[in-house]
Amino acid sequence: MAFELPDLPYAHDALASKGMSAETLEYHHDLHHNAYVTNGNAAIKGTEWEGKSLEEIIKGTYDPKAVAQNGIFNNISQLWNHNQFWEMMGPGESKMPGELEKALTDSFGSVDEFKKQFSAAGAGQFGSGWAWLVKDSDSSLKVTKTENGVNPLCFNQTALLGCDVWEHSYYIDFRNKRPAYLENFLEKLVNWENVASRM
């Protein structure tokens, strides 16, 4: 079975009042995300990875020693990353569940300190990539950043929250102001119930 582009969990204009326009979602989901689906399916066709899960392909094709990852990894990992990204945001008011607030406070000292570290990771990622809140293999929470399409699965971590800092994610709405995009993401867009459900 070939991978398919999942529908957005909300309308294209559902996040517009929160700083992510319908135009951004049309480009980001309908074009960019769809390209990863199309190119990923083409890349694995006729290989040992055809018929495997996204997670199996990502873990099996990631090369920690490589400066640049291979085409199968790049497309399949970005397909997975974006599948998560849309679910990690939402149009409604999202209150952070108590267990997540406690876990963040225990790990970072406060929710504000977590947000500060997360924003710094995203703003400090040179070029394209992602900022993440992860649960590590020892169950501790950490803020990380990855280049291009690399994600927490490569390091046996659980992705709780990820923010795409490729320019196509924010340039229509924020131009080159990546820190403002990250602040808006954390304050207005995150579906904290979804984040908590991943713990």
> What are the pLDDT digits (tens) for 13-26?
999 999 999 999 99
Whole-structure pTM value: 0.97
Residue 98 has pLDDT above 90, yes or no: yes
Residue 143 and residue 121 in contact, taking contact as beta carbons nearer than 8 Å: yes
The structure tokens listed for 46 are 């006729």
Q: 21-88 — its CATH code?
A: 1.10.287.990
What value does the mean pLDDT of the chain take? 97
Summarised one tens digit per residue, pLDDT across range 33-57 is 999 999 999 999 999 999 999 999 9
| 164 known ligand binder | yes
82 annotated to a ligand binding site: yes
**Contact partners, residue 28, CB within 8 Å, separation at least 6:** 82, 164, 168, 169
What CATH number belongs to 98-197?
3.55.40.20
Domain spans, the chain: 21-88, 98-197
Nearest Cα residue to 164 out of 195, 128, 198: 128
Fold equal for 21-88 and 98-197? no
Pair 57, 72: CB distance under 8 Å? yes
**Residues making up the chain, counted from first to last:** 199
Q: HSE of 4 in the Cβ direction (CA atoms, 13 Å)?
A: 4
Mean pLDDT of 147-153: 98
